[in-house]
Amino acid sequence: MTENGYSPNELLICVASRLMEDGTTAFIGTGIPMLAASLAQRQHAPDLMPIFEFGGMGARLERLPLAVGDMWTFHRGLIAAGICDAMEFAQLGFVDYGFLGGAQIDAYGNLNSTVIGEQKHPKVRLPGSGGANDVGSCCWNTIILMQHSKRRFLEKIDFLTTPGYLTGPGAREQAGLPANTGPYRVVTNLATLDFHPESKRMRLIGLNPGVTKDQVIEETGFELLVADSLAQNAPPSAEELRLLRDEIDKDRFYI
C-alpha cells in the first residue's frame, strides 16, 4: 500500500480501465484485465462488450470471474459460444482491443510468455501462449499490462510468443498479419507507453504519481523513446477505490 492509500495493483487497474472506451469490444484475460473491464462498465463504459476466450461475449461483470471459462463470463451476455468462435471473432476483425500480459517484452512490443532461457533447456517454463498469440495477431489494438523492470523490458526476448511490431515498420504485414493492427499501449506500475507511429518503437507518454522519467528509463533494458510532453496519470479516485474494494474484488483475489 502506498502512502497515498492505494496499492500499485489498484493504480494499474484504474489506468487500464480508463483506456476502455464505451461501445467497443475487448478481449479480456484473467486477472487485472477483468477488474479493469468491470470498473470501466461501472464508471464510463456501460456498453463495453467483454469477450472471453471460452466464448462468453458481452457479459455484465456484476461479479468477478475467477477464470476465462467461469460461469460469470457469460452472465447476462449477448452470446454464449466457444473458444473457436471467440478466436474467429477476432480473426474477422470484430475485436477492438485485446488485453495481454507477459514475462518479457522488447522495444517493438513482442511478448514472451513461454520460457526464460533456451527453449530446449529453459531456466523457467512459463504457461505459454493460450490465446495470447491469436489476440496479439488479430485484434485491432493490444494493450499490454506488465510490471516494469529491466529483467522484463529487454532488447531481445528469450522467446517470441505473441507478435508486436516484430522487427519494425511493415514487418507485421510481411508476416501475413492484418494491416493496421498491433500494440497500442503498455501500462505498467511506473508509466504508460505507446509506440512511435513511424519507427514502431516503444515510447514513454505518461508517468504514474511520484515516478520520474529517469526512473522509467533506468528500469528499461533498451533505448526508450520519450514523448516531447509527458502526461501525468491520475491516482485512483475515491470512487474507483470504493468500487474495486467493496464491489468488484471484495474478497481481495487480485488487489
Among 65, 78, 20, 76, residue whose Cα is nearest residue 44: 20
Complete DSSP assignment for 182-202:
EEEEEEESSEEEEE-TTT--E
CA atoms within 13 A on the CB side of 132: 24
Among 233, 234, 191, 194, residue whose Cα is nearest residue 214: 191
Among 95, 82, 99, residue whose Cα is nearest residue 28: 99
Among 46, 24, 76, 58, residue whose Cα is nearest residue 184: 24
Residue 93's identity, in one-letter code, is G
Q: Which among 53, 198, 219, 240 is annotated as catalytic? A: 53
Beta bridge partners of 162: 111
Distances in whole angstroms, Cα of residue 5 to Cα of each of 17, 26, 242, 247, 250: 19, 30, 12, 18, 17
Active site residue 118: no
Q: Which residues, in sequence order, are CB contacts of 217 under 8 Å at separation 6+?
A: 204, 224, 226
- Catalytic (active-site) positions: 53
